[in-house]
Structure 1
Amino acid sequence: MKKEDIPFQAIDWNGIPKTEHVGEAGIAIWQTLQYSGLRIRVVELSKNYIADHWCEKGHIVHCLEGTLVSELKNGEKFWLTAGMTYVVSNGLSSHLTISGIGAKLLVIDGDFLKTQ
């Protein structure tokens, strides 16, 4: 098995530690699994959450609960509700995450989202 191989495993998120990340407004609670070149997170956004930065990293974001808005620097806004997903490669957008009612997300990012 290579260092970056991930063996089969079931993940019990109840046992993954939570870390707080303060936004411009509100808090994001992360539960993070880090592998070589891959990060998987469950992220809970508080009510009235606004990220404290414009992000240019690539992500796959799946909304499990609630609602969020991803605002792009060009002014476009994309709403995600439970069951919806967005995907973007590194460097292809500058986006800001906002949630009025709060949201719970599954976020996957890593080396596979680098642009060629």
Structure 2
Amino acid sequence: MRMSDIPFGTTDWATIEPEHHAGEQGEAIWRTRRFGPDGNQIRVRMVEYTPGYVSDHWCEKGHILLCLEGELETTLADGRVFVLRPGMSYQVADQAEPHRSTAPKGARLFIVD
């Protein structure tokens, strides 16, 4: 990721139209912005997982993820499990370690990928 051609700006996340994505259980609600030129865009999201959310797929996309509220449980393909609480983050590269998340209590996240 190279951050280029992004002028200074602010985002009021409450004004970004939500996108609803069904999980295996529960729902993920994304508010998404994209920055930078085509071919090198950075996707920035405010994501809410409803209580009981279970992802419907194993993700291989790289992310930098910050837990703002609630609790996020992320399982790696090798069986390791990590729990994020508010103020905790994780980072993983593209194609590095497949991961799948659940949010038994719900969670609010800030994600850059």
State the TM-score, normalized to the length of structure 2: 0.91
Cα drift, residue 33 of structure 1 = 0.2
- Which segments of 5 or more consecutive residues in structure 2 lack a partner in the other structure? none
Which residue does 1:99 correspond to in 2? 103
Which residue does 1:77 correspond to in 2? 81
Cα drift, residue 68 of structure 1 = 0.5
**2: CA distance between counterparts of 1:26 and 1:67?**
15
- Which segments of 5 or more consecutive residues in structure 1 lack a partner in the other structure? 110-116
Backbone CA RMSD of aligned residues: 0.8
Cα drift, residue 38 of structure 1 = 0.3
Deviations 1:6-40 (A, max 9, x none): 10001111110001000000000000001232000
Which residue does 1:21 correspond to in 2? 21
Alignment of 1:39-58 (within 5 A): 39-58=43-62
Task: Specify the SS of the correspondent of 1:61.
Answer: strand
State the TM-score, normalized to the length of structure 1: 0.89
Number of residue equivalences: 106
